[in-house]
Amino acid sequence: MRTMAELQKSLKASYLASVSLLLSVLLWLSITVRPSMAAKEIPVGVILDPNSTLGIMVYNSLTLAVEDYYSEHKDTATKIHLLVRNVSHNDFFTAAAEASRQRPLQR
């Protein structure tokens, strides 16, 4: 039967082996896996009324959210590009009503 000292020594050795294996895998990944040099740009359409308080708030929020995301995830292979379409309050509701009339919501 093993003594407590032998068990502790065995656990310490297996712990060190696990840590060294993990570090080796991480080092291998950092050397072999490289992000693409040219990020693929994904256009995202945004319809806003730039003359309304809500439109300004939404635009600022979206812009900050995209900037914050990419400041934390610099190696992302895709980049969101916001395509802003300016519409007035009435144009927006007219377009929304027309879109819902042509294509009812599926449930």
Show the tokens assigned to 97: 């009503």
Show the tokens assigned to 85: 């379409």
The tens digit of pLDDT for each residue in 17-40 reads 665 656 676 666 566 655 555 678
Q: How many other CB atoms sit within 10 Å of the CB of residue 93?
A: 11
Does 79 have pLDDT greater than 80? yes
Show the tokens assigned to 4: 């407590």
Residue 8: per-residue pLDDT: 64
CA–CA gap between residue 97 and residue 91 (Å, rounded): 10
Q: What are phi and psi of 33, to 5 degrees?
A: -100, 110
Does 53 have pLDDT greater than 70? yes
Cross-strand bridge partners of residue 43: 81
Residue 44: per-residue pLDDT: 83
What's the pTM value of the predicted model, to 2 decimals? 0.49
Residue 98: per-residue pLDDT: 62
**Any idea how long the chain is?**
107
Distance of CA 74 to the CA centre of its chain: 10
Residue 89: per-residue pLDDT: 61
Q: Helix, strand or coil for residue 80?
A: strand
Confidence class of residue 92 from pLDDT cuts 50, 70 and 90? Answer: low
Supply the mean pLDDT for the chain. Answer: 72
Domain residue ranges in the chain: 1-33, 37-107
CA–CA gap between residue 23 and residue 17 (Å, rounded): 10
